[in-house]
């Protein structure tokens, strides 16, 4: 198995503006978890986590309450 190259977080964040649109497009369809977003975008979950947390911090996304403590949060576009 080939080892995946781990990008520096600053390099990952440079992609934020491009990925913002792709993530928003996915979330227009349905709320999704970070692993679901990562799979759909074919990106590492650790990179998607940085983008989702940034979008959440800017108020573009919001998390949906979890039914069980061990579930992943689902994210949706924030209501404007």
pLDDT at site 80:
62
pLDDT at site 3:
52
The yes-or-no verdict on residue 12 having pLDDT over 80 is no
The residues with which 74 forms a beta bridge, in sequence order, are 64
Tokens 């491009």 belong to 18
36-63 pLDDT, tens per residue? 999 999 999 999 999 999 999 999 999 9
Structural domain boundaries in the chain: 12-77
Over residues 4-22, the mean pLDDT reads: 77
Residues 6+ apart with CB under 8 A from 19: 41, 43, 48, 51
pLDDT at site 1:
45
**Nearest alpha-carbon partner for 38 in 26, 55, 56:** 26
- CATH architecture of the domain 12-77 equals Orthogonal Bundle (1.10)
Residue 18 CA neighbour count, 13 Å, CB half: 8
Residues 50 and 10: beta-carbon distance below 8 Å: no
């Amino acid at each position: 198995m080939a080892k995946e190259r781990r990008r520096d977080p600053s390099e990952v964040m440079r992609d934020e503006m491009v990925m913002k649109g792709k993530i928003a497009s996915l979330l227009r369809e349905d709320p999704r978890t970070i692993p679901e977003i990562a799979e759909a975008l074919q990106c590492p979950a650790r990179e998607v986590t940085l983008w989702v947390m940034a979008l959440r911090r800017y108020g573009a996304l919001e998390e949906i309450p979890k039914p069980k403590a061990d579930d992943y949060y689902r994210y949706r576009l924030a209501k404007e």
